[in-house]
Every structure is written in C-alpha cells, then in structure tokens.
Amino acid sequence: MNLKIHQDHARFRQIVKGRIRKELRKFISSGELIGKEGDKFVSIPLPQIDIPRFRFGDRSKGGVGQGDGEPGDPLSEGEQDGSSEGQAGDQEGQHVLEVDVSIEELAEILGEELELPNLEDKGKDRLVSTRDRYVGIRRVGPESLRHFKRTFREALKRQIAAGIYDPKRPMIIPIRDDRRYRSWKTESVFESNALIIYMMDVSGSMGEEQKQMVRIESFWIDAWLSTQYQGLEKRYIIHDATAREVDRDTFFHTRESGGTMISSAYKLCAEIIDRDYPEQEWNIYPFHFSDGDNWSTDDTRLSLDILENRLVPVSNMFCYGQVHSPYGSGQFIKDLVAKFSDEDKIITSEIPDRDGIPDSIKTFLGKGR
C-alpha cells in the first residue's frame, strides 16, 4: 500500500543519508561496525536532525514521579540517563540522534560518495529456489500443523475467563475456537554467483593496528560488493608461513604470528577456486592484504607465478592492498607492479593509515570490473 507518509519518510531518510555522507570517512575508519552482517541495522550517532526550539537545559530540570523510595535515593537504574557519566551537561550543542541504518545502506552511500561504478556481471541467470519457513501462528490451518501448546493455552485462558476451570481437576478441553496452527511463509533464495576470497597476512610483522586496517577495509569491500550481488560467497584465508581457510568470525578476530609465505595463501586460494567455483559461472574477486614483507625472493617468485597462471586468468580482478608497517620492507608491492605493469586485472594499493582506507577502496573498486 502506498501511504502518503512514505514521501515524507523518504525525504527524512534522504536528509539522514546526507548527514551520514558528511561524516562518512569517520564511520568508515572507525572499526566499530566491522563484523556486522549486511542486513543488520546499526545505530549511528549523528548530529541532531531535529527542529531546534528554545528549551530548558536538561540537567537542572527535575520532575515529579511516583513510586517507592526515600529522599536521597537514586531513581532506579533504567530511568537514569544513559549518558550520565562524563560532562555532557557542560558542552554546548551536543545533540545526538541515533539513526538506524543497515550496513547495506551505508555501503550504498559509500558507493555514491566514492563514485564507485556498478560492477559488470558475468555468469548465467540467477537461480531462484524457494523455501518454506514457519514464522507465525494463525487460527486456521490443516490439522497436521496444529500447535498443541498454543491451542491448550488458549483453551486454558478461555476456561479461566469463563470460570469453568477447576485447578483441583485440571481438565482442559480445547474447542474449535481455541485451535492454533503454525503458518508459513515462502521465501526465495537466490543462488549466488560472485565470490570474494579474502587473504590476510597475519605474520608477526603485521601489528594489531595493521590487521585492524585490513579488517576494516575488507569489511567495507564486503559490504559494497554485497549490494552489487544478490548472494555473495565469501571465503577467508589467513596465512603466515602456511595458509589455512577460516570462517568469517576467525578472520575478523584472529591474532597470530609467524613467518610469511605469500605463496601458501595463493596456492590455497587457487585450490578453492578450482574445486568449488567454475570460472565461467562466477565473478571472482581475490583480495590479498599484507605488509609486503615476504620470507624470501624465491617465495615471491613462486607467488607471482601462481598469480599469473592460476589466479589472474579466472578472476575478474585481483586486488593487493599493502598496509604500511614499521617492520616490513614493503618489497612485495614493488615486485608485483614490476611484473604485472601491463596487466590491468591486477590492482594494487598502499594503505598508509586508517584515513587511507576510503581511497584504497576507491582504487580497488573504482574500475568496475
């Protein structure tokens, strides 16, 4: 149904998005949002979007309430102002509005702000399969779906209300009206056809801050690509001297150390693609983040070899992000650029610090492959 309010609501959301855009870089480089799923709503604090009026300062204002307690007792916890610590009362113009935005929307705003192009699609039509989910209760339905507990509860309620329930002889007899049935909803499931493989160097030279930068960047890349593809497959690889595949949670929270063999990650990545994702049907985006401090030149040679022969041919693009680390030599990016200077599927970017993240994202995704 089209309500008139939707216009006003859309206008309000537009204003909210405008505000978010202004503060976007701040949101992106703070790590608070990472690890959240794309369709989840997150609360972001924005400078107030309200109509200013002359009003009393909140602090000095008391009020009248009802309930127990002696003079000097605090009001119960739930009624305390959330922001009671700190000196909120002394600061001017600190009006904060919490707006709920989905990560998806944020990613879209990010896309608009960084002028990211829409990606080209490869692969066949999306397959849609359907699935039934039991989500609610209703009063009619087939007997096979009868919800016994609810039915008896209704009957009990009715009998108590009507005064015919006898606790000494608790007999509950549901009548037709009491019956409750499970109800279901049919949902479509989209078959995905894009794959992102994140590879992160977790060797000793990558400090916590470096890893955090990688996570933030991967998170936003992930969020943006999710808006581009209905269903998106993600695989996560971490490596030091050996590589292993991990789940999302581990990827975003792990801490490890050791030597660095980049080839191990590339090898594993290639294996995953060969095994699970036929290249004709999949848009494949491997991302690799490291501080560029590889173990040996031999290994670098091996890595570049795998890249050239196994990864680049099947991928839409291959992105390498190098975070600046105080320990690493940062040699790998130079080798990479030297070898693939004329291969435009390979995109490299250096990330000096958190503020560099948006620009790096733009470098990676700005080409629209």
* Contact call for residue 135 and other proteins (CB under 8 A): no
C-alpha radius of gyration, the chain, whole number: 28
Q: CB–CB of 200/268 below 8 Å?
A: no
Asked if 75 touches other proteins (CB under 8 A), the answer is yes
Piece of the chain touching other proteins by CB under 8 A; list 59-67, 122-130, 223-231, 320-328: 59-67
Q: State the DSSP H helix or E strand holding residue 8, giving kind and residue range, or none if neither.
A: helix 5-22
Counting residues that bind other proteins (by CB under 8 A) gives 59
- Confirm if 305 and 273 have CB atoms less than 8 A apart: no
Closest contact distance (angstroms) between CB of 35 and other proteins is 23
Interacting residue with other proteins among 39, 82, 92, 144 (CB under 8 A):
92
Name the minimum Å distance from CB 1 to other proteins.
7
Assigned token pair, 67: 């309930």
**CB half-sphere exposure, 47, CA atoms < 13 A:** 11
Binding other proteins (rule: CB under 8 A), the pick from 19, 122, 146, 158 is 158
Specify which residues 235 forms β-bridges with. 197
Give the residue with the Cβ less far from other proteins, 66 or 130. 66
Output 49 or 241, the one with its CB closest to other proteins.
49
What CA–CA distance (Å, rounded) separates 267 from 53? 63
If one counts every other C-beta atom within 10 angstroms of the C-beta of residue 255, the result is 8
| Residue 68 binding other proteins, by CB under 8 A | yes
Q: Which is nearer to other proteins, 14 or 257 (CB)?
A: 14
Taking the complex as a whole, the smallest distance from the CB of residue 58 to other proteins amounts, in Å, to: 7
Q: Which of 37, 45, 76, 271 binds other proteins (CB under 8 A)?
A: 76
Q: Can you read off the two tokens belonging to residue 136? A: 């609610």
What amino acid is encoded at 225 in this protein? L
Using CB under 8 A, pick the residue from 39, 82, 84, 171 that binds other proteins.
84
Q: Is 142 in the site for other proteins (CB under 8 A)?
A: no
Query: According to the binding rule CB under 8 A, does residue 63 interact with other proteins?
Result: yes
Measured distance CA(51)–CA(211) in Å, rounded: 42
170 binds other proteins (CB under 8 A): no
Q: Which is nearer to other proteins, 124 or 176 (CB)?
A: 176
C-alpha closest to that of 361 among 123, 120, 121, 106:
106
- Number of other CB atoms surrounding residue 300 within 10 Å: 21
Residue 42's closest CA among 32, 29, 50, 53? 32
Near other proteins by CB under 8 A: residue from 22, 95, 131, 301: 95
Contact call for residue 60 and other proteins (CB under 8 A): yes
Decide if 198 contacts 234 (C-beta within 8 A).
Answer: yes
Question: Residue 269, Cβ neighbours under 10 Å: how many?
Answer: 28
Q: Rule CB under 8 A: say whether 45 interacts with other proteins.
A: no
* 150 lies in the binding site for other proteins (CB under 8 A): no
Nearest residue to 189 (alpha-carbon basis) of 133, 123, 265, 107: 133
- Mask: binding to other proteins, 2-41, rule CB under 8 A, as x and -? -xxx-xxxxxxxxx--------------------------
Q: Does 173 bind other proteins (CB under 8 A)?
A: no
- Alpha carbons 142 and 181: distance in angstroms, whole number: 7
Q: Which of 51, 140, 171, 338 binds other proteins (CB under 8 A)?
A: 51
- Residue 72 as a binder of other proteins (CB under 8 A): the answer is yes
**Cα angle vertex 62, ends 60, 66, to 5°?**
165
Rounded to a whole number of angstroms, the minimum distance from the CB of residue 64 to other proteins is 5
Output the CA angle 49-81-55, nearest 5 degrees.
50
Can you give the binding site for other proteins, defined by CB under 8 A? 1, 3-5, 7-15, 49-76, 78-81, 84-85, 89, 92-95, 100, 157-158, 160-163
